[in-house]
């Protein structure tokens, strides 16, 4: 017991009654203990004594006023507990004392249910003799006969039937006692039920008793039902699942043979749409599949929008896939909104199945209708690097575009699959393709913050100067936000075709001295000629609330022209004076700023 659990409260009388301590019980009662006082879980002393079969204590408690009809935990009465435990003498004592034979617990079970559950035949007889309702129905739609059937209680079932138990009773879902017997391997009970007129082909949720036995693999019950005339398939839309489907689902080959020997349709399914081969493939039942194919099953039959091969590929059943392909299953049939077996195997990362499908010439470029998504797309999106490698090796187009103009590379980046990004780039994926949303792979990688991806992309030719949807290139955007690491990566890998002057202006404007020095380390011109006329020096002065004097000093130190006017014709001195940057004005004077130039004031 943990330190947080509260011990169950009990009473001395409850403890003594449960443990069978008659003398102590008598002493406690003589001292005034309440014979009906329950412990915390609701059990009374009489409930506890009845459950354990302590007959003398039961009588002692009754003599001291214990109420035989006070229910305990779960509303189970002392009589039900005695019946459940097989304590005949106590049951008889209670009945003589007027115990209610039809009292129900919280599940709607009467005392007769409890007696039937544990094959307490003598108690069943006593209860029936005292008027117990043989056809009582519980909350979960059971009758005593159902309980006897599912627990293989033959003698109890016979007694119930001899006392007019309704062998044909079915609740709303159609479940009968014969279904219970068939589903629980109760062969003798099934025979007895049939002898008394059970409906052999009754449907419960669209399934016959024969289906129940087939699904569970009870060959003896199956043979008995077949011998007594059970149909292997009904001529009604209400039959949702045929027996052959049930047997195939769980790989019961002997039962499959038995059903087919009786004329079962190897390709037939119930109204739910399942076929035997489809369900066997879904569950990886190789031997069942081999038997069904031997007996003529259609290998490419489409059931619920899926072929056997597709559903086996979906479930990762490699041996089944091999078997179906060896028997010439078509790998390119479109299933489930246009997906192929290769697509679903790629989506789920089943690399051995992908290899086997490709060996059998599955079309690597078949796309989902409308969306244009290939197996490589979904494998890239889901991060299955080994599958991506196989698809690329077999000729998958790394630059295929879906309806949004995104490529597999976009998808791998979007979902953070660095290893897939590397494989795609190594196999000539276009690092600069722009989707319908205006995103290049590099823009997406930067947005995700994955610098490893960024480095791969730049290494394989991503254009760091290509404008994005915001009009900024990745390099300018990095400089603008002061991202030193990204700028360093870009500069290290992309020395050509970079507008380093614009980057220098941007870095100066945001006040990032480290980036300014990085750029100047690769770009000697401290006074670049830009189309808009802006200069790094004036950008540094105009940045922030009071300018970036450290960058001003660095630029001047490196030879920036102290008198060069900016884009509006104002000189650095004029800009500093207008803004009121006294420290910068003094710095400019020290570097020889000409106060008499136009634009200086």
**Model confidence band, residue 109 (pLDDT cutoffs 50, 70, 90):** very high
The residue that leads in pLDDT, 61 or 506, is: 61
**Integer CA distances (angstroms), 107 to 24, 114, 184, 284, 362, in order:** 35, 12, 22, 38, 55
At 303 the three-state DSSP class reads: strand
Percentage of the residues of the chain whose pLDDT score is greater than 70: 97
Is the pLDDT assigned to residue 585 strictly greater than 60? yes
At 335 the three-state DSSP class reads: strand
Lowest mean pLDDT among 123-137, 320-334, 425-439, 568-582: 568-582
Q: What is the predicted pLDDT for the residue at 157?
A: 98
Q: What is the predicted pLDDT for the residue at 11?
A: 94
The residue that leads in pLDDT, 180 or 578, is: 180
The residue that leads in pLDDT, 544 or 586, is: 586
Q: What is the predicted pLDDT for the residue at 142?
A: 94
Query: C-alpha angle with apex 187: 107 to 208, nearest 5 degrees?
Result: 70
Q: What is the predicted pLDDT for the residue at 600?
A: 57
Lowest mean pLDDT among 280-289, 561-570, 592-601: 592-601
Instruction: Tokens 């246009």: give the residue.
Output: 338
Q: How many Cα atoms within 13 Å fall on the side-chain side of residue 411?
A: 27
CA–CA separation, 272 vs 238, rounded Å? 9
Compute the chain's Rg from CA coordinates.
42
**Integer CA distances (angstroms), 198 to 179, 239, 309, 410, in order:** 10, 18, 40, 64
**Model confidence band, residue 8 (pLDDT cutoffs 50, 70, 90):** low
Q: What is the mean pLDDT of residues 48-58?
A: 97
Contacts 24+ apart (CB under 8 A), 590-598: 591/556, 591/562, 592/562, 592/563, 593/562, 593/563, 594/563, 597/563, 597/565, 597/571, 597/573, 598/565, 598/569, 598/571
- Tens-place pLDDT, residues 382-395: 999 999 999 999 99
Is the pLDDT assigned to residue 62 strictly greater than 80? yes
Is the pLDDT assigned to residue 477 strictly greater than 90? no
Q: What are the boundaries of each domain within the chain?
A: 8-133
Q: What is the predicted pLDDT for the residue at 293?
A: 98
Q: What is the predicted pLDDT for the residue at 488?
A: 83
Return the H-helix or E-strand segment holding 179.
helix 177-183
Q: What is the predicted pLDDT for the residue at 6?
A: 40
Q: What is the mean pLDDT of residues 150-177?
A: 95
Q: Which of 401, 390, 324, 378 is nearest to 351 (CA)?
A: 390
**Integer CA distances (angstroms), 202 to 174, 189, 225, 260, in order:** 7, 16, 12, 21
Q: What is the mean pLDDT of residues 516-530?
A: 84
**Model confidence band, residue 171 (pLDDT cutoffs 50, 70, 90):** confident
- Tens-place pLDDT, residues 78-105: 999 999 999 999 999 999 999 999 999 9
Is the pLDDT assigned to residue 7 strictly greater than 70? no
**Model confidence band, residue 409 (pLDDT cutoffs 50, 70, 90):** very high
- Tens-place pLDDT, residues 260-270: 999 999 999 87
Q: Using the Cα atoms of residue 363, residue 368, residue 373 and residue 379 in order, give the sign of their dihedral.
A: negative
Lowest mean pLDDT among 277-286, 389-398, 566-575: 566-575
**Model confidence band, residue 599 (pLDDT cutoffs 50, 70, 90):** low
Overall fold of domain 8-133:
1.25.40
- Tens-place pLDDT, residues 183-232: 999 999 999 999 999 999 999 999 999 999 999 999 999 999 999 999 99
- Tens-place pLDDT, residues 414-458: 999 999 999 999 999 999 999 999 899 999 999 888 999 999 999
């Amino acid at each position: 017991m943990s330190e947080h659990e509260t011990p169950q409260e009990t009473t001395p009388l409850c403890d003594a009654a449960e443990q069978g301590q008659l003398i102590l019980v008598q002493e406690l009662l003589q001292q005034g203990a309440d014979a009906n006082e329950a412990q915390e879980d609701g059990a009374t002393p009489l409930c506890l004594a009845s459950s354990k079969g302590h007959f003398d204590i039961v009588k002692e408690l009754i003599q001291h006023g214990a109420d035989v009809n006070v229910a305990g935990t779960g509303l189970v009465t002392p009589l039900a507990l005695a019946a459940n435990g097989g304590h005949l003498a106590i049951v008889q004592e209670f009945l003589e004392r007027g115990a209610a034979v039809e009292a129900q617990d919280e599940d709607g079970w009467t005392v007769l249910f409890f007696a039937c559950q544990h094959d307490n035949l003598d108690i069943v007889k006593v209860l029936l003799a005292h008027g117990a309702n043989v056809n009582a129905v519980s909350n979960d739609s059971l009758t005593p006969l159902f309980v006897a059937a599912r627990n293989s209680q033959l003698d109890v079932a016979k007694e119930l039937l001899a006392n007019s138990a309704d062998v044909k009773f079915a609740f709303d879902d159609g479940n009968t006692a014969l279904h219970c017997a068939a589903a629980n391997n109760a062969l003798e009970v099934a025979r007895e039920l049939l002898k008394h007129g059970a409906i052999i082909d009754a449907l419960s949720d669209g399934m016959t008793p024969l289906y129940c036995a087939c699904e569970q693999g009870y060959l003896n019950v199956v043979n008995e039902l077949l011998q007594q005339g059970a149909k292997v398939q009904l001529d009604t839309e209400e039959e949702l699942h045929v027996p052959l489907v049930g047997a195939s689902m769980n790989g019961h080959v002997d039962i499959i043979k038995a059903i087919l020997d009786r004329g079962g349709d190897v390709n037939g399914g119930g109204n739910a749409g399942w076929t035997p081969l489809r369900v066997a493939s879904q569950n990886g039942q190789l031997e069942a599949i081999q038997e069904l194919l031997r007996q003529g099953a259609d290998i490419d039959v489409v059931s619920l929008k899926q072929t056997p091969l597709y559903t086996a590929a979906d479930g990762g059943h490699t041996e089944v896939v091999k078997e179906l392909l060896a028997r010439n299953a078509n790998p390119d049939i479109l299933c489930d909104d246009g997906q192929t077996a290769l697509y679903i195997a790629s989506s789920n990362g089943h690399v051995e199945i992908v290899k086997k499908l490709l060996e059998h010439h599955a079309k690597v470029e078949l796309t989902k209708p409308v969306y244009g998504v290939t197996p490589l797309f979904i494998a890239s999106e889901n991060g299955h690097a080994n599958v991506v490698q196989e698809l690329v090796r077999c000729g998958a187009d790394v630059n295929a575009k879906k309806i949004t103009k995104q490529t597999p590379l976009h998808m791998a980046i979007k979902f953070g699959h660095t290893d897939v990004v590397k494989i795609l780039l190594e196999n000539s994926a276009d690092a600069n393709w722009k989707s319908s949303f205006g995103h290049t792979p590099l823009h997406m990688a930067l947005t995700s913050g994955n610098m490893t991806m960024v480095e791969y992309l730049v290494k394989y030719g991503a254009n760091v100067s290509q404008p994005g949807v915001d009009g900024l290139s990745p390099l300018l955007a990095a400089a603008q936000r002061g991202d030193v690491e990204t700028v360093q990566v870009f500069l290290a890998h992309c020395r050509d075709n970079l507008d380093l002057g614009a980057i220098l202006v941007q870095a100066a404007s945001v006040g990032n001295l480290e980036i300014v020095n990085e750029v100047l380390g690769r770009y000697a011109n401290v006074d670049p000629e830009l189309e808009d006329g802006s200069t790094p020096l004036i950008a540094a002065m105009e940045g922030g609330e009071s300018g970036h004097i450290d960058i001003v000093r660095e630029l001047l130190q490196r030879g920036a022209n102290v008198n060069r006017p900016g884009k509006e014709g104002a000189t650095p001195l004029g800009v500093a004076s207008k803004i009121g940057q006294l420290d910068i004005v003094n710095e400019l004077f020290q570097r020889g700023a000409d106060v008499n130039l136009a634009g200086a004031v």
